[in-house]
Chain A
Amino acid sequence: MIAASALVLSACGSGGGGDSADDYLACMVSDSGGWDDQSFNQSGKQGMENAVKNLGIEEKDAESQGDSDFKPNVDNMVQAGCNLTFGVGFLLEDTIQEAAEANSDLNFALIDSTFSDADGKPVTIDNAKPVVFNTAEAAYLAGYVAAASSESGKVGTFGGIQIPSVTIFMDGFADGVKKFNEDNKKDVKLLGWNKEKQDGSFSGDFENQGQGQELTKQLISQGADVIMPVAGPVGLGAAAAAKDAGDVKLVWVDSDGYESTEYGDIILTSVVKEIANAVEDTIKEGTEDNFTNEPYIGTLENEGVGLAPFHDFEDEVPEDVKKKVEDLKKQIIDGSLTVESESTPK
């Protein structure tokens, strides 16, 4: 903490690209979730802190409290001469895009979203890198395990808000369940998401844990015994409901829930999104003068996404299921199996 604030206080206002890591300034602007959202803002910040520790760079960060804070916050980073400025979340897309176009000597990166023009068509920007994650691949494996672990023959999921970075989890999960059914001639049902219609249950935000608890109770009352909440901290409400019900397991998302939450004993596994590593890698590229606008896409192959260990359920998940999951993972990595989602980052 002391070191961090000392760095912030002594951070100089010189512009332009620094040559060594010592005077490389990386900056990050959050969306309104803030740095303690137990989700992508927090992971992003973690990446910054790791980079400060491991690469010896300097950092600045600014938390946004509302959408109108994005422009001033990013502008302050540009004025401070940040060599690389991260925006966290799709809401910062336009702001980062604008800043990148106006400041060709500085680099930018956008976490969890790609760049698009007014009509929603993808565009590339010379000095801005999208950092996105093909979480469908890992969620596919989670869906397979979930279906294999379900005793009731029903698994469930719900999201926070219907945006691509959320539904991509649900698409992968749905396909994993389907794959399990095909392989084993079973009929495990998925509640809360219909991949074909792209329609399902959403809590409406990433804050209201009570809503997550309600949705989870509904899923449980419909018979689901493995549930994947894709809603950041709202998932904690789901965990509370699952714990009350007993016999219900959760699939956590973003981080390894066994470690990041107090509900480790009901968490079957987690679909992990290594945002912190991606941030650190991107900063490393910058310090080595290798920054490109090539999108970073986290996959199973580059370990940007992954399936967390089963922890307490290590003994309960059958060996053949574990082996099958390893096989599927290999197939996805070598390209013989493609997990498709409308939301897959391209």
Chain B
Amino acid sequence: MTTDISPAAPSAAPPPESEAEDGKQQTLLQEILSGSWLVSLLAIVLALLLGGVLIAVSNAEVVAAAENFFAAPGEFFSTLFSTIGNAYSALFRGAVFDWDARTAERAIRPLTESMVSGTPLILTGLGIALAFRCGLFNIGGQGQVILGATIAGFLGYALPLPPVVHMLVAVLGGIIGGAIWAGIAGVLKARTGANEVIVTIMLNSIAGYALGYLLKQNWFTHTTSANPQSRVIDDSSQMFLLLPAPFRLHFGFIIAILATIFVWWLLDRSTIGFEFKAVGANPHAARTAGISVSKVTIIVMIVAGALAGLGGAAQVLGTEYKLTGGISGSIGFDAITVALLGRSKPLGTFLAGLLFGAFKAGGYLMQSQTGTPIDIVLVVQSVIVLLIAAPPLVRSIFRLPTPVLKRKED
């Protein structure tokens, strides 16, 4: 441990009382981080309730029943509850356990699908969370995922290597790709003070268009197909499946677990992690204590980018098997939500990633079986973030006591 820091500083948490000399960014971040687990849970409940309302109003049968409300109020309520119930039960069956499935394998598959969808979210979310803890807003998850996926995918079909080695090389390529991309923002922030929010957002666009360009070059895609997509990666570079088909759960989930443990170790057990948090809590104090803020900024961004790059690698090597313009989906942005919901803690991010993976996996079934618009899931997710970002709102809705002394985290 660096001993330059005053021993009075709490070891595991940024001191909440440091009334943000460093401007609004810091205050906002600490506000968000000091929300409690209960608030997160209640936010999810509230969002699901609101989602229920939307499911009801977007359903023609419910609307028709509502028009006859005064004639047959009972029918309205039964239609209302059966519609919402059907939608959410399909969401649950698609995400956890499908009791309507035709085979036992299919019945338990949904939970593994949630893990599959959650894997890139967890990895990228960890990258965002790590930067949050150091007081950096890494909005560039999207670009870092794209870079990670692009390099991992390219190595996955361009190199002739034996199994396992090939996959590890491709994964490493993904890590380096993401690290470089975020590192650019880190260096610019450390050397010139360029705002990392703006730089990372710009780098998102650059990464997206660069991938679009590469997918038109035959030397890159290794295929003669005129469509902008790459060759399918070699079997040897695919992340091996943890369970036989039809399961899609792959090695990437193990990587996500390991990465979660790594980030926990980094933040809570390592010297450098202590410096990260010290800078996040109060950069001026950290500088006074002899910590190089610029060095920490660069390292944090590189590690954050490496994690996001890993998320991109897991996506292309684990589930998609080829590069397309839309390879990153909205992972980079969903991961910000995941990190916020997880209160930027490693375990919290892991669980939040799983939850969002479950929303995604369940959303597929909810849409195809009940015709509920997939956008409802998006609204539920967004409302969760909104409420997480405004804990006082949730507290007042549920009349929770305002915490007088902000409690020590964990």
Please list the residues of chain A having a beta carbon within 8 angstroms of any beta carbon in chain B. Answer: 1-2, 4-6, 8-9, 11, 13, 15, 27, 32, 60-63, 65-69, 71-73, 75-77, 79-80, 90-91, 93-94, 113, 116, 118-121, 161-164, 204, 342-343
Whether, in the assembled complex, B224 has its beta carbon less than 8 Å from a beta carbon of chain A, the answer is yes
Q: How far is the CB of B316 from chain A (nearest CB, A)?
A: 10
- Whether A32 contacts B326 by the Cβ 8 Å rule is yes
- Whether A67 contacts B370 by the Cβ 8 Å rule is no
Could you list 17 examples of A-B contacts with CB < 8 Å?
A1-B60, A2-B61, A2-B64, A9-B370, A60-B368, A60-B369, A62-B368, A67-B326, A68-B315, A68-B329, A71-B248, A73-B367, A76-B368, A79-B106, A80-B369, A163-B228, A204-B209
- Whether A68 contacts B320 by the Cβ 8 Å rule is yes
Please list the residues of chain B having a beta carbon within 8 angstroms of any beta carbon in chain A. Answer: 59-61, 64, 86, 94, 100-102, 106, 113, 117, 209, 212, 216, 223-229, 231-232, 246, 248, 315, 319-322, 324-327, 329-330, 361, 364-365, 367-371, 373-374, 378
B59, B227, B232, B319: which contacts A5 (Cβ < 8 A)?
B59
B102, B248, B325, B374: which contacts A63 (Cβ < 8 A)?
B374
- Whether A91 contacts B326 by the Cβ 8 Å rule is yes
Q: How far is the CB of A63 from chain B (nearest CB, A)?
A: 5
Q: How far is the CB of A125 from chain B (nearest CB, A)?
A: 16
**Chain B contacts of A69 at CB under 8 A?**
329, 364
**Chain B contacts of A120 at CB under 8 A?**
223-226
- Whether B368 contacts A13 by the Cβ 8 Å rule is no
Determine the residue in chain A with the shortest Cβ distance to B224: A120
A204–B209 Cα distance when bound, in Å, is 9
Given known pairs A8-B371, A66-B330, the reply for A164 and B226 (CB within 8 Å) is yes
Determine the residue in chain B with the shortest Cβ distance to A91: B324
**Chain B contacts of A343 at CB under 8 A?**
226
A164–B226 Cα distance when bound, in Å, is 7
- Whether A118 contacts B60 by the Cβ 8 Å rule is no
Contacts A93-B227, A94-B322 aside, 15 further interface pairs with beta carbons under 8 A come to A4-B371, A5-B59, A32-B326, A60-B371, A62-B364, A65-B378, A69-B364, A73-B368, A76-B94, A79-B101, A120-B224, A163-B227, A164-B226, A204-B209, A343-B226
Determine the residue in chain A with the shortest Cβ distance to B319: A68
A119–B315 Cα distance when bound, in Å, is 22
A32–B328 Cα distance when bound, in Å, is 12
Q: How far is the CB of B250 from chain A (nearest CB, A)?
A: 13
Residue of B60, B246, B321, B367 with most partner-chain A CB within 10 A: B367
Residue of A15, A75, A93 with most partner-chain B CB within 10 A: A75
A119–B226 Cα distance when bound, in Å, is 11
- Whether A6 contacts B228 by the Cβ 8 Å rule is no
A140–B64 Cα distance when bound, in Å, is 49
- Whether B225 contacts A116 by the Cβ 8 Å rule is yes
- Whether B326 contacts A66 by the Cβ 8 Å rule is yes
Q: How far is the CB of A310 from chain B (nearest CB, A)?
A: 33
Determine the residue in chain A with the shortest Cβ distance to B371: A8
A32, A71, A77, A116: which contacts B319 (Cβ < 8 A)?
A71
- Whether B326 contacts A76 by the Cβ 8 Å rule is no
**Chain A contacts of B321 at CB under 8 A?**
94
Please classify the interface of chain A as helix (H, G, I), strand (E, B), loop, or mixed, using the class held by over half of its residues: mixed
Give the A-B pair count, Cβ closer than 8 A.
111
- Whether A66 contacts B329 by the Cβ 8 Å rule is yes
**Chain A contacts of B101 at CB under 8 A?**
79
B113, B231, B320: which contacts A67 (Cβ < 8 A)?
B320
- Whether B226 contacts A91 by the Cβ 8 Å rule is no
Determine the residue in chain A with the shortest Cβ distance to B378: A65
Determine the residue in chain A with the shortest Cβ distance to B367: A62
**Chain B contacts of A4 at CB under 8 A?**
60, 371
A14–B94 Cα distance when bound, in Å, is 18
Residue of A4, A8, A11, A66 with most partner-chain B CB within 10 A: A66
- Whether A161 contacts B228 by the Cβ 8 Å rule is yes
Given known pairs A113-B227, A118-B231, the reply for A76 and B364 (CB within 8 Å) is yes
Q: How far is the CB of A199 from chain B (nearest CB, A)?
A: 11
**Chain B contacts of A11 at CB under 8 A?**
369
6 shortest interchain CB distances as A-B pairs: A66-B329, A120-B225, A120-B224, A67-B326, A8-B371, A1-B60
- Whether B365 contacts A76 by the Cβ 8 Å rule is yes
Given known pairs A5-B61, A68-B315, A76-B365, the reply for A163 and B226 (CB within 8 Å) is yes
Q: How far is the CB of B154 from chain A (nearest CB, A)?
A: 15
- Whether B327 contacts A204 by the Cβ 8 Å rule is no
- Whether A73 contacts B232 by the Cβ 8 Å rule is no
- Whether B364 contacts A8 by the Cβ 8 Å rule is no
A1, A73, A113: which contacts B364 (Cβ < 8 A)?
A73
A80–B93 Cα distance when bound, in Å, is 13
- Whether B329 contacts A5 by the Cβ 8 Å rule is no
- Whether A63 contacts B367 by the Cβ 8 Å rule is yes
B223, B327, B369: which contacts A119 (Cβ < 8 A)?
B223
Determine the residue in chain B with the shortest Cβ distance to A79: B106
**Chain A contacts of B94 at CB under 8 A?**
76
Determine the residue in chain B with the shortest Cβ distance to A60: B368
- Whether B329 contacts A162 by the Cβ 8 Å rule is no
A4–B212 Cα distance when bound, in Å, is 38
A164–B371 Cα distance when bound, in Å, is 32
**Chain B contacts of A32 at CB under 8 A?**
326
- Whether A72 contacts B212 by the Cβ 8 Å rule is no
Determine the residue in chain B with the shortest Cβ distance to A93: B227
**Chain B contacts of A27 at CB under 8 A?**
368
B325, B326, B361: which contacts A72 (Cβ < 8 A)?
B361
- Whether B102 contacts A79 by the Cβ 8 Å rule is yes
Determine the residue in chain B with the shortest Cβ distance to A1: B60
- Whether B232 contacts A118 by the Cβ 8 Å rule is yes
A57–B369 Cα distance when bound, in Å, is 16
Determine the residue in chain A with the shortest Cβ distance to B103: A79
